[in-house]
Structure 1
Amino acid sequence: MLLIGGCITLFFLILLARVFWIQMLERDYWQAEAAKQRAHTSVIKAVRGSIKDRNGKVLASDVPAYTVVVNPEMIAALGIGEEVITGLHKLLGKPEDELKKLVEAKDKNGKYLKNREIRNEGWKIDKELRDQVNGFIETLKKEHSTLETGVGLIREQKRYYPQQTLAAQILGYTDRDGKAVMGLEKYFDKQLTGVNGKLLYQSDGKGIKLPESKDTYQPVINGSNIKLTIDSTIQYYIEQAMQKAYEEYKPKSITVIAADPNTMEILGMANMPTFNPNEFWNYASNPGVFFNHAIQARFEPGSTFKIVTLAGAVEENVFDPDATFVSGSIRIKGYGKPLYDQKRSGYGRITFLEGVKRSSNVAFVKLGYEMLGPDRLLNFVDAFGFNDPTGIDLPGEISGVVNPTPNNAAENATIAYGHGKVLVTPIQQLTAMAAIANGGKLMVPHAVKEMTNPNTGNTTITQPEVVRQVISKESARETGSYLEQVVADQVAGTGRHAYIEGYRVAGKTGTAIKPDGKGGYNRNKVLSSFLGYAPANNPKIVVYVVIDEPVYATGGGAAAGPVFKEIVSSVLPYMGVPKVTTGDKSNTSLSPKNSSVPQRSTPDLTGKSLQEARKLLIDQGIDFEVVGYGKDVVRQYPESEALLAAGQRIYLISEQDDQASIPNLRGQSLRDALEVLTLLKVAVSVEGEGYITSQTEAILHGKRLVQLKLNPLNTYGEDLPVSAAQ
């Protein structure tokens, strides 16, 4: 008993000593360990900022997403493995052998695991597919009389692009982990991402928050919201026109950029082929779709580069439109071979203005190499920004390179017409043309209109930025008048396919023969382009169209000109720019040269397919608009054989009158609007006089009503001011 008592006493003494050691000598260490166990952190996810177009339409935002998970342990206990594998295979499309590995997953000790995510097919699925998975789970519960099935869903967030392929290369995308990969998403990732918030609190062993918990809260900082200069409607017009050209010419790629030349806000930018950022993983075999040619491609531009030579010659007072030269070919001192026009036999002795309209290489060699001289020409090339990036707020922009060898006659001469030692980017070309359109100011293009911090409410607005005055306002206006004749002259003008009745268009075509990689050129491969702006007397939009290797090596006038025309024909009425008639004395360039021929009559289009009617009207240079979504023309206005006034539009009605949507009538005369709306059996109310500047739809006594507001043109035949047009 003494031994047992002594052992017990010794045990308690040791226990007391250990308690003293822990509580007194190791007090700080164990208090810190206890604090670690009590402390918990709850992360509050920051919301990634949205991206919207200039009118507030959402282009990219975070939306709820759901990830499918399975519990192998529970599925095995219920014995429903085969049912789960078969059901999820049908819903998610994931191979059954891969599902089997997940459903039967075990740890190193051979025990079933408790949680496995089904990637990638079941990862961050949308609401529609989530509802189908929930339906499958409920079916399993009923069939097996159980509350748990081993199949579940975890709510998460994912990036969603509601406009699908629209402006894909501008927006870029984030991968399934939320990492920004390209485009604006990557360029402004820091601003869009924000900072996660934290809640620090104390809890007991079961995770229940302690009453005396000392909480620490770090507020969440949500990502900034971005509003772009892009107009999704204009972007849609661009991509629709590109799609038709892509199907017709089957090129390697097509690039189109549109901007407001007065502010250099990018109104639209697209490349084709393109991709859907919601399904970026489907394009792994074609990585070229992620390439933004508009700012990352560099090429010999061909004749669209002649705008620099022309502007420089006008600025230096060496361009005499009435002076003459012999076209066809030219020999320059220091180079043994002649340089040729596209038509090697030439056009005989012609004026320099006709040389501009016919895009004569000889004319521009004389202007740029002989009259201006290499040094002055290169000064204008630098002034227009071709050796520097434009500074556009998009990632990956590269610069053009115009760097001929000094004293090399051939290299310096061919620069005058855009060949040889001249490489440019589409955005540089557009910016240079915009400088001519806006009165000689080279400006920085930008795609971001404003950025708003939702945490503070502060908004940063991108202001127009002028780099420098390249040429005088008078020289810009004069240069524009010559470029307008390139389009208006339906005999000599290479840009005649871009002519739009009722609008004054200035532009320049380009057909650059591509290098063959062996020091020469392959005439079977060309880069066709058109660069222009409208209205020429009061520019609202500048557009550059580039088609890389169209079939049959189709030239820029024939291939790219109609694309420009289709885009601008839709955009100007949408912007509220009214058409003007040849009755305006100030509008001397509206009608094409040699247009004293009788008025054209309306072709009979009723019964034809829309595709056939569209092609016929484009070929004849007649403006038109499709009303409805049918495949064939049901009715038309004006009717067949009616005489068309200059600038008058043909309306193709492709659905029954009571089903057709109301067309965009802005810029049209009241007479035409009333005729069309009468055909559609729509009531009309009119306010004002002149041309239609806005329209609204309403329902009156169960019938459709269109309210039209009109404004007159001013006495000088100029377009309506923006405030009135809107």
Structure 2
Amino acid sequence: MVIRVFWIQVVQNDFWHKEAVSQWAHTSIIKAKRGTIEDRNGSVLASDVPAYTVVVNPQVIAEKGIGEEVIKGLNKLLGKPEAELKKLVEAKDDEGNFLKNREIRNEGWKIDKELADKVRAFNKELEEKHNTLETGIGLITEQKRYYPKDSLAAHILGYTNRDGEAIMGLESYFDKQLQGTNGKLYYQSDGKGIKLPDSQDTYQPAVNGSDIKLTIDSTIQRYIEEAMQKAYDQYKPKSMTVIAADPNTMEILGLANMPTFNPNEFWKYAGDQENFLNHAIKSIYEPGSTFKIVTLAGAVQEDLFNADATFKSGSIRIKGYSQPLHDINRAGWGEISFLEGVKRSSNVAFVKLGFEMLGQDRLMKYIHDFGFEEKTGIDLPGEVSGRVTPQYSVEYATLAYGHGKVQVTPIEQLTAVAAIANGGKLLVPHVIKEISNPNTGEITVTEPEVVRQVITEESARETGSYLEQVVSDQNIGTGRHAYIEGYRVAGKTGTAIKVEGQDYVKSKVLVSFIGYAPVNDPKIAVIVIIDEPNVEVGGGTAAAPVFKEIVSQSLQYMGVPKTVVGSAASTKVTKTAVVQRSTPALTGKSVKEARELLLDQGYDFETVGSGTSVVSQYPEANTLLASGQRIYLLSQQGEQAAIPDLKGQSLRDALEVLNLLKVKISVEGEGYVTEQTVSTENGKKLVQLKLNPLNEYGENIPVAAAKDEAEDTGDSGG
């Protein structure tokens, strides 16, 4: 006995000590919470929610003799075939003994609360019927990823599978930040697993995942998907893609592809991977005439575009190539101006501009500068870059109008057109607005990132004026179906015949429209692509109406007032008609009522304060408004009211609004407000305004340069 005790306690001490520790020492995992994903307004797009897995105990079910009832009841609730349920309910080990615990996958795996409650109710029925406290049916409480808006923005979000593994989209791309780190609790227990009173616990807290706020606006995303669905049902294409962005920051406001999927039920689409493909960043295609925007911008920048100069339309020959290149109307329109060539989307016009005037080297330079041979850098996984590979003269000629040796991605095209809208700056597109760490409170904000200045602001503005006429000219403009009453729209259509092998197949086309609005103050840029519609249509007929529906709804939702727009059919630049109107009486109305009235009638306005009714307004009711003058609605007065953004307003208007708010005012300079600073002086708000004059384009210029500006434009002053 002594020898045996010595052998166990001394010689085999280490072995038996480890065995004992394994029985009394335990580790409990503390699950980290996966971060939520929200849209720009805080609406939840993805979050963790409780989930329930149905389990059966074959041993108990056999003892109670209720197997058939369990099988039929769970078949009715979960939809799992009775034959498969029978295997689970009657499962045995190798020795022929009934097993004690079997999960019902996949139909009973991580189900929602509503279905779990029905399983509980069924279980209670069995308990009462058979007068027992145990039926062999149970629920395990777990967590699962839930997407409350179903398929909305599915290709951006991606999904996690039922094991919690991130599979695609932002869920995968930012998985490390979202998932966090699980915590642990080490403790000691007795033989029955009960924690010991003097347990030496070691606690390692869970580090929850970061929360992500997107640039996506759920409302605009819904506008996009609803407009797409109508066209998808009508034309039954192979696929569709739409992207919308703020061209000034390249924040993506919405992005969608069809066909699509519901991330809550991703397994239903396993047989067709096309549903999961994010064409917006992963597919390349021959763009067709939307690519002409690059050629036009380059020609304008190089001062080569003369809107009034003429050329012979119809066809053009390239040296060394036997066949002529044609317009879509092979007979042409005779001798026409280059501006008409832009409106009609004449291939010949763009061959002359891009191939003959710009030349191969400069054309390629602008293509590169607009970002077509590199990834945009968007913060989504799997982006590819386009390819531009001309070798021969004729290939450079067709490149000028978007055909031949050029393939692009939708996001490349939208980023390039946004550079026209925002004054010539190529920006990096992004879908992440900010990432916040709930453990530290740290917030990382994505700031706009400029890649390069591609063309000057003046050239961008001029290019935009020509693109506006492609839409506003209701007689010959190819983009006329994108025209929106009350908003100035710039855009370009595209229709590209697809290639199979070495040949173009005329029955298979990709049609598109790309543009932005309002031209004078761009708020949104959108690209619409329809791949292989089932009928013979062009970009102007099929894609432009989708653009129109999305943009018109979005601009009204964003509170952008309408203006009275004159026809641009016979003018170089579309001009807003000067219509002097008087201010409606708004004091005493609810803020909601006043806002709807002003939006409907196209007034520019701003609300000040958080009250529910208008207590005062500026200008007063029945005051004649100058062109572009803003109306201010005050729902609060005094110190509690926020100071509105007065930049761009005249000194008189700014002073009137600030006087209504009863704040102190300091003014520096003359002209229009360019900067404002709010501070406190002797316990009262002080608003400091800096002013500058405006140039001929309505832009602020330094006071010191005002004299030079007047001389340059031929103005004599005074």
The TM-score range, normalised by the shorter chain, is 0.7 to 0.9
CA deviation digits over 1:210-268, x for unaligned, max 9? 22221111110111110000000000111111111111111111110000011000000
**What letter corresponds to residue 212 of structure 2 in structure 1?**
I
Match of 1:169 among 155, 171, 176: 155
- Distance, in Å, in 1 between the alignment partners of 2:441 and 2:159 is 26
Match for residue 505 of structure 2 among 522, 537, 547: 522
Question: What per-residue deviation string (whole Å, max 9, x for no partner) do you get for residues 454-508 of structure 1?
Answer: 1111111111100011111111111111111111111121111111111111111
Residue 41 (1) aligns with residue 24 (2): no
Counterpart of 1:251 in structure 2 is 237
* Alpha-carbon distance change, 182 to 345 in structure 1, aligned in 2, over 3 angstroms: same
Distance 1:451 1:89, change over 3 A: same
Question: 1:359-383, CA deviations, whole angstroms, 9 ceiling, x for partnerless residues?
Answer: 0000000000000001110011111
Query: Separation in 2 of the partners of 1:310 and 1:409?
Result: 19
2:535 aligns to what SS in structure 1? helix
Pair 1:144 & 2:144 matched: no
Q: Which runs of 5+ in 2 are unaligned?
A: 572-578, 581-592, 606-612, 620-624, 636-643, 651-672, 677-718
Q: Is the 8 A contact 1:490 1:594 kept in 2?
A: no
When residues 26 and 518 of structure 1 are mapped into structure 2, their CA distance, relative to the original with a 3 A threshold, is closer
Residue 538 (structure 2) pairs with residue 551 (structure 1) = no
Tell me the amino acid that sits aligned with residue 325 of structure 2: L
State the partner residue of 1:637. none
> Is 1:667 matched with 2:580?
no
CA offset at residue 694 of structure 1? 11
Structure 1 residues 692, 291: CA separation in 2 closer, same or farther (over 3 Å shift)? farther
Which residue is 1:540 aligned to?
523
Q: What's 1:633 paired with?
A: none
Q: Which of 227, 239, 242 is the matching residue for 1:241? A: 227
CA distance in 2, matches of 1:528, 1:693: 42
Query: CA offset at residue 27 of structure 1?
Result: 2.9
**Residue correspondence of structure 1 range 695-710 to structure 2 within 5 A:** none
1:308/1:670 Cα in 2 relative to 1: closer, same or farther (>3 Å)? closer
CA distance in 2, matches of 1:59, 1:722: 37
The match for 1:213 is: 199
Look up the match of 2:469. 485
> Residues 501-650 of structure 1: matches in 2 within 5 Å?
501-515=485-499, 517-582=500-565, 590-593=566-569
How many Å separate the matches in 2 of 1:570 and 1:425? 26
What does residue 625 of structure 1 align with?
Answer: none
* Structure 2: distance between partners of 1:263 and 1:684: 33
Structure 1 residues 573 and 309: CA distance shift in structure 2, 3 A: same
Q: Indicate how the Cα distance of structure 1 residues 663 and 117 shifts in structure 2: closer, same or farther if over 3 A, else same.
A: farther
Which of 55, 76, 96 is the matching residue for 1:110? 96
Distance 1:430 1:495 in 2: 17
In structure 2, what is the equivalent of residue 261 of structure 1? 247
Aligned to 1:372: 358
Indicate the SS of the match to 1:551.
coil
Shift of 1:721: 12
Separation in 2, partners of 1:662, 1:163: 31
User: 1:713 & 1:49 partners in 2: Cα distance?
Assistant: 40
Q: Would you say 1:356 and 2:342 are equivalent positions? A: yes
Q: SS at the partner of 1:668?
A: helix
- TM-score calculated relative to the size of structure 2: 0.82
- What amino acid maps onto 1:416 in structure 2? A
Q: CA deviation at 1:696?
A: 13
SS in 1 for 2:242: strand
The CA distance in 2 between the partners of 1:228 and 1:359, in whole Å, is 37
- Local SS of the residue matching 2:599: coil
Q: CA deviation at 1:581?
A: 1.9
The residue identity in structure 2 corresponding to 1:396 is G
Amino acid at match of 2:301: E
Q: Deviations over 1:274-333 (max 9, x none)?
A: 111111111122220100010011000000000100011111111111110000000011
Alignment partner, residue 54 of structure 1: 40
Which one-letter code corresponds to 2:522 in the other structure? P
Amino acid at match of 2:600: Q
Aligned equivalents of 2:311, 2:601: Cα separation in 1: 45
Q: Which amino acid aligns with 1:593?
A: A
Hey, what does 1:444 align to over in structure 2? Answer: 428
Which of 284, 292, 311 is 1:306 aligned to? 292
| 2:698 paired residue number | none
Q: 2:15 & 2:540 partners in 1: Cα distance? A: 82
1:500 aligns with 2:476: no
Alignment-derived partner of residue 100 in structure 1: 86
**Letter aligned with residue 300 of structure 1:** E
- Alignment check: 8 A CA contact 1:670 1:692 kept: no
Per the alignment, residue 270 of structure 2 pairs with 284
- Give RMSD over aligned pairs: 2.9
Tell me, what secondary structure is at the counterpart of 1:553?
Answer: coil
Quick one: distance in 2 between partners of 1:686 and 1:339? Answer: 64
SS at match of 2:513: strand
Where do 1:385-396 residues align within 5 Å?
385-396=371-382
Whole-Å separation in 2 of the counterparts to 1:93 and 1:666: 54
Q: Which amino acid aligns with 1:414?
A: T
Structure 1 residues 565 and 670, CA gap change in structure 2 (3 angstroms)? closer
Deviates more, 1:240-249 or 1:154-163: 240-249
Unaligned runs of at least 5 residues, structure 1: 1-14, 583-589, 596-644, 647-660, 674-682, 698-708
Partner residue, 1:232: 218
2:295 is paired with a residue whose SS is helix
Q: Which residue of 1 aligns with 2:146?
A: 160
Structure 1 residue 523: deviation in Å?
Answer: 1.9
Distance 1:473 1:447, change over 3 A: same
Number of residue pairs aligned between Structure 1 and Structure 2? 615
Over 3 Å counting, the alpha-carbon distance change for 1:444 and 1:383 in structure 2 is same
Report matched runs for 1:444-463 at 5 Å.
Answer: 444-463=428-447
